[in-house]
Structure 1
């Protein structure tokens, strides 16, 4: 059938298992031609690797570059990641390869694609669709090929198709529907299928319908949301890929998925791009006390896994008596052991790692051991949820400045963005987050605050646990990425109740993006179904008491409640609503793409929005002032009030005047030449919401530091954890707690 709409037509040959193409796998038919018969030859050669029932491949999405510098950065990542040993089968992209689909951008994407060392199976996203009127897939079809097609590998049927169907004109849309139906009918019933689309498929139409048709969806790969997630439906993992562009969540935004398919199912591993033979000791730091203390080494490379790490410690006073320190792997990055210096002076730590290609990496660091000792841990006071305190995140006492690691516990978390620790009754509680297939280990962890000893660990009722947990009246509350709320006994970890925020989530939610914390209020537990609506739940049973229409937006914001008023802001509007009803108090405009949660102090509402911190009259919504604060990405930190200052993290850490918004001082993010040689192409953000404890403010940063500053903005303490800190620190008594990107929960104590 001829088509006067601007779409090419294609004849596509599906690559069979056990073979590889020796020619292009499709023939392109220009939309302007009138002939009805065409001839095309497709060549395939035997390929033993593609017959493997146990194989792996790599996925990414949303490169969306706009300039040559960004293009070169992504091309370097493609070259590094696809050069991994172990015969990866191919690279799958899931759309939004360009920003606006222009021919100039496609010229640059040719260079990105050409940097891959393995075959690339590309997908279409809306940004590739000319981004002009009329919308169409024409440029993609001209430069890449068919926007919908399939291939077989290892007995698995891969099918890539367009979910942003507004870019397909009616006849092209009908052709895709006809083709997709025929393609799925052509495979044996029950054959495993991996679906690849830009938008994640809907629960009912994308998964339930296919299940009813006998299609065995093994998993789905998708993008669009620019953040790593793992959802599910009917037991099939839905894996949202990280963006190949590197600025959306600051450092380590770009994380490629390694997807392994076995007869037992799908397993995945996230690999942060731009890491080159990273090996370093991050505990102890440059200075250490005498006595037993944690030793933490990081060893990581984007394209190679680390097989072993060894450490030898030698005192300058006894150079002939080196100590070999046993190390055990903890997560993807870390190796833990115990450092026990028995004499002050200079100690040399010799690290050696062996990677999956057999290469050895070495590094030597020195530590100055003093006569000091770690103080006895003292637990005093609680921070039971992320905005606890009066004003929020303000504690009367703190651990001080001369801090060293007391204990370090790997929580089991991977790719930590939002899982900030909280403290209650001498215990530390933290969500265990893992956005890999099946979200293994996701749930809640409880540790003894003084020792780091694990007291209990509870599984998530459904899906990943992405946001902070909340402790209230002897219960721990958590919201999963798939929209389930759970309550656990704070003492034992026993599950008291769990329920989905929507009945459709009982079979899983494909978009596992909810990263909001439960918010304690006088009217019940305030929870968010990601953007909207908000609900008030009964603390004891989880029963829904009321539904609130407020919307918190796409990213890391959540609704907050002060007194009987709930506040939220998102692109398109900000609002205050009465609790327990949703009677409007006021509404206003907000144009920033991403916002933070808001706090109310002395009648003023403060929140960050894009590259600014804003102050509003909490009663009327009238804006009082706005101050520029640069940041990168969408995970906006919450501003914190410190007497006459408003503290806000960002590219740099800043303080502005509470009354006027004028800048008071700035603490620049750090640039470590050695680290940035081995951790390349990173955009630095400050996502960590600060904590004021005693006379100091504590905050983490993408530059891998956790720091303390005094009220004049002077840095009085710093420790490098080796990976970004995107979560908010917590404190109790003389202890400081930090959950880093790699999944290590650090406890710092003072020395004397």
Structure 2
């Protein structure tokens, strides 16, 4: 009898739970009206959740979920081969007695089980801009399975704007969001506004053979109602129903771990080992930089991106990325730089420059459009009579540059030619460029080494070459990867540059080119991008990549002499530049800043004085025994180069927030804060003088100090020169609008200069983000010559004898005769 009563009580309890739970169905919404109509079949095997429990629908699409006290939504994991017709979630308590979800088949199944999607992050704006149009048009032109924003949308206005303007309907593909720290805003609880606009803060969906999981930031500006345990408990149940043949990709606003084992913890001692669930990628934002790496031998790739709307904190280019994932992991990462509109530039041959290799003409074309990929570039060469002499299809070298070489007739020195280039984009648009030119063979001779960015450790170099008017192109070649701040250096007949690959880590490294011909002598692939200055000393080329690994390569042949084992164990990314003095190479940041003996890689000292901060894309500087370095959002530091001892630090008056480096002049340190130049006593670290500047100085440059002027590069208004004695503005130079934006939070119509000018006689030579290399009169700022690269020129030039070496973002390295 007691057993019968107990059985009846259990049945009653079960019936009550069912009655108080949530029911509904997932169905194929064939007419797309979001309503379950007669004849529309249910869909079985779909995951449905209340935020804790996860169940599968029955064959007819029906499901039942128990009640959960913290539940605010019922949501589905949209299955592979389908997209939600209205929404993947429904709020509880809106008068619903049943929670139905309609799905529709996608036009074509993901090829080979792959998922291809567009990711943006950290847009932090409430204003519509070209960046949004670029993403929308890219999806329209190139296709994508979905679009996702990995957080910091941001604040109340930003959340409202994105919900209205960047959604599934407006973008044309399913559009998902992650919650970031700045998306937890004032309300009854931190995520209240986010939920009202975007739904649950954690959920999952399937595309192809990939299971995608969105997880929330666990901290932020306001306290969230969810906990690590809440997410953990749901995630455990979600993964338990994951197909074992699927690969797993997680989205979050921040990186879970720098380690090779990804443990999702509940804060109470429990942990899910995501590696055991075929984790292939962790995709995040938060750091406002472009960075990608594989975690140990795990085959797990983490991918960060800078903002789509503006420049990154470490001056990362504005961008969104396109990621393809399959069963085996990340197959492709493509970064698309926002704001670049229908660019086609012939670098050689033109009326202002003809590059040769032997008797072969170098055809080099930069072509790019954010929203549409270049499919083909062709070049036709006509003689003065209009007869077609050559036609060639160019080959892509980088995603921006296309090249070919063609033989010229024997009498080419006396012939006027006309060249015509066409670029065809995937959206069907064709761009056309034409120019008339005559081949000349200028003679260039390198004399004197230029072994580090800006020529010396003071970062305030001057080349003595005088009497020249306009540089003449001698040769041009491409290093095979983008060049950020890895400025050319010259030694022993070779030009060395550093390349980046913040997507797949394939095209990053150090490349040596013959200074006479431009032919590649050797290339050494590094583990990750070398973003800043490299140096050459004692026949050794030195550089440090974004993961903190230092490489010492024999300059003659690229042979690895030694490599540091100082792998960084945490973010931020290392994107600064090292410096050489007296056989010692100084490099790194925080606890990873070290002094290496160049001859054998011996570590002479390691910094223990400070840590933290964001990446600072600036190069170190040395005068006497003082090393000046810094960290963004931290401080400017002065160290004793002999011991590493911290002598002074400054974080006041905007010096904490810096993108640029320091330069020395007359035993004083010249450095900029956010909008002020500081002249600092080298020994004490005290400010001796300053100049307020009305514009943002958030560029990757150092002040240029001459006997007459202090020259500063700005994020929005080009270059400003101040009189050293009166501190009054002497002249300004404003280039054209930047092709993409790099300085932090910089937007249209910024005229950005990210390269420090180099003094060459009575002139300044400087690249700008508008794609031009400029020659300015040092006394007036007047433009005396310019050369069009057609992609941003972010790196400083190098000078040796009557040769000037320059590099653009597209990876082109050029030699000019002065």
- Give the Cα separation in 2 of the matches to 1:492 and 1:388: 23
Name the structure 2 match of 1:235.
299
Does structure 1 residue 625 correspond to structure 2 residue 686? Answer: no
Aligned residue runs from structure 1 range 409-420, under 5 A: 409-414=477-482, 416-420=483-487
Kept after mapping to 2: 8 A contact 1:519/1:525: yes
Within 5 Å, which residues of 2 pair with 1:293-692? Answer: 293-315=361-383, 317-338=384-405, 342=412, 347-357=417-427, 359-369=428-438, 373-389=440-456, 392-398=459-465, 400-414=468-482, 416-437=483-504, 439-460=505-526, 462-502=527-567, 505=569, 511=571, 513-522=573-582, 524-529=584-589, 531-548=590-607, 549-550=609-610, 553-569=614-630, 570-592=632-654, 593-629=657-693, 634-650=698-714, 651-670=717-736, 683-692=750-759
* Corresponding residue number in structure 2 for 1:49: 108
The yes-or-no answer on 1:96 pairing with 2:152 is: yes
Confirm or deny: 8 A CA contact 1:75 1:115 kept in the other structure: no
Query: Which of 70, 78, 84 pairs up with 2:135?
Result: 78
Of 111, 114, 120, the residue aligned with 2:165 is 111
CA contact (8 A) 2:623 2:667 kept: no
Distance 1:634 1:193, change over 3 A: farther
Q: SS where residue 568 of structure 1 aligns?
A: strand
Gaps of 5+ in 1: 674-679
Deviation at 1:491, TM superposition (A): 1.2
CA distance in structure 2 between the aligned counterparts of 1:367 and 1:217, rounded to whole angstroms:
55
User: Secondary structure of the equivalent of 1:452?
Assistant: coil
Task: Between 279-288 and 601-610, report the one with greater CA deviation.
Answer: 279-288
The separation in 1 between residues aligned to 2:697 and 2:166, in whole angstroms, is 23
Q: Distance in 1 between matches of 2:192 and 2:539?
A: 59
Q: Which moved more, 1:543-552 or 1:688-697?
A: 543-552
- Cα deviation, 1:265-297, whole Å, max 9, x if unaligned, reads 421111222334432323234435698653322
* Residue 790 of structure 2: aligned partner: 722
Equivalent positions of 1:260-275 (< 5 A) are 260-266=324-330, 267-275=332-340
Asked if the contact 2:209–2:326 (Cα under 8 Å) also holds between the matched residues in 1, the reply is no
RMSD (Å) for aligned C-alpha atoms: 3.3
Q: CA deviation at 1:589?
A: 3.5
- Structure 2 residue 88 is matched with structure 1 residue 22: no
> How far is 1:480 from its partner?
1.3
The aligned residue for residue 321 of structure 2 is 257
**Bigger shift: residues 596-605 or 285-294:** 285-294
Task: String of CA shifts for 1:29-52, please: whole Å, max 9, x gaps.
Answer: 37xx9x9x9631122334463453
**What is the aligned partner in structure 2 of residue 160 from structure 1?**
214
Question: 1:18, 1:145 → 2: CA distance?
Answer: 22
- Structure showing greater radius of gyration is 2
Of the three residues 203, 208, 219, the one matched with 2:281 is: 219
2:573 counterpart SS class:
coil
Task: Indicate conservation of the 8 Å contact 2:670/2:679, yes or no.
Answer: yes
CA shift digits 1:214-235 (9 cap, x unpaired) = 1222112111222222122133
1:677 aligned partner: none
| Structure 2: distance between partners of 1:182 and 1:556 | 43
| The 10-residue stretch of structure 1 (317-326 or 17-26) with the greater mean CA deviation from structure 2 | 317-326
C-alpha distance in structure 1 between counterparts of 2:800 and 2:640, whole Å: 33
Q: Secondary structure at the match of 2:90?
A: strand
Number of corresponding residues:
718
Counterpart CA distance in 2 for 1:227 and 1:213 is 25
Per-residue CA shift, 1:75-132, capped at 9, x if unaligned?
A: 32232222123x311111101122x224x751454113353122111111122222x4
Please tell me whether the aligned partners of residues 60 and 244 of structure 1 are also in contact (alpha carbons under 8 angstroms): yes
Alignment deviations for residues 670-712 of structure 1 (CA, whole Å, 9 cap, x no partner): 3699xxxxxx966431111121233322110011111122321
Q: Select which of 12, 30, 33 maps to 2:75.
A: 12
Task: Please tell me whether the aligned partners of residues 151 and 157 of structure 1 are also in contact (alpha carbons under 8 angstroms).
Answer: yes
* Aligned residue in 1 for 2:123: 63
- 1:231 and 1:481 in contact (8 A); partners too: no
Contact 1:230 1:512 in 2 (8 A): no
**Shift of the alpha carbon at 1:8?**
6.8
Which whole-Å deviations, capped at 9, do the CAs of 1:232-253 have from their partners, x for residues lacking one? 2133221112312124489993
Write the distance in 2 (CA, Å) between the matches of 1:169 and 1:672: 39
Residues 672 and 625 of structure 1: is their aligned pair in 2 closer, same or farther, counting only changes over 3 Å? Answer: closer
SS at the partner of 2:141? coil
1:382 is displaced (CA, Å) by 1.3
* Kept after mapping to 2: 8 A contact 1:555/1:635: no
Kept in 2, the 8 Å contact 1:71–1:109? The answer is: no
1:311 aligned counterpart, secondary structure: strand
* Distance in 2 between residues matched to 1:390 and 1:247, nearest whole Å: 28
User: CA separation in 1, counterparts of 2:675 and 2:663?
Assistant: 18
**1 or 2 for the larger relative contact order (CA 8 Å, sep ≥6)?**
1
Q: How much does 1:361 deviate?
A: 0.9
2:236 corresponds to 1:181: yes
Deviation at 1:192, TM superposition (A): 0.9
> 2:300–2:329: 8 Å Cα contact kept in structure 1?
no
Instruction: Confirm whether residue 747 of structure 1 aligns to residue 801 of structure 2.
Output: no
Q: Report deviation, 1:162.
A: 1.4
* Distance verdict in 2 for CA 1:235–1:646, change over 3 Å: farther
Tell me, yes or no, if the aligned pair for 1:152 and 1:158 is still in contact at 8 Å: yes
Secondary structure of 1:717's aligned partner: strand
Q: CA offsets per residue over residues 303-353 of structure 1, 9 Å max, x none?
A: 3222221122334x3123454255322211222234759366875432222
Contact 1:707–1:718 (CA under 8 A) maintained in structure 2: yes
Determine if contact 2:368/2:400 at 8 Å carries over to the other structure. yes
List gaps (5 residues or longer) in structure 2: 1-49, 53-68, 265-271, 740-746
SS of corresponding position for 1:445: strand
Question: Aligned partners of 2:160 and 2:355: how far apart in 1?
Answer: 59
8 A contact 1:446–1:457 mirrored in 2: yes
**Residues 381, 115 of structure 1: alpha-carbon distance in 2 compared, 3 angstrom cutoff:** farther
Matched, 1:245 2:309: yes
- In the superposition, relative to structure 1, how do residues 109 and 746 fare at CA in structure 2: closer, same or farther (>3 Å)? farther
Greater mean deviation of Cα atoms: 616-625 or 728-737: 616-625
Query: Which residue number in structure 1 is paired with residue 6 of structure 2?
Result: none
Q: Which deviates further from its counterpart, 106-115 or 473-482?
A: 106-115
TM-score w.r.t. structure 2 length?
0.81
2:287 & 2:100 partners in 1: Cα distance?
39
CA–CA distance in 1 between the matches of 2:633 and 2:316? 25
- Structure 1 counterpart SS, 2:320: strand
2-structure distance, mates of 1:284, 1:110: 48
Deviations 1:515-535 (A, max 9, x none): 122222348321214x54522
* d(CA) in 2 for partners of 1:367, 1:135: 66
Q: Secondary structure at the match of 2:486?
A: coil
Residue by residue, what CA displacement relative to the aligned partner does 1:383-433 show, whole Å, maximum 9, x if unpaired?
A: 11114337534244338332132222111113x332212111221111121
Q: Distance in 2 between matches of 1:456 and 1:197?
A: 40
Q: 405-414 or 681-690: which moved more?
A: 681-690
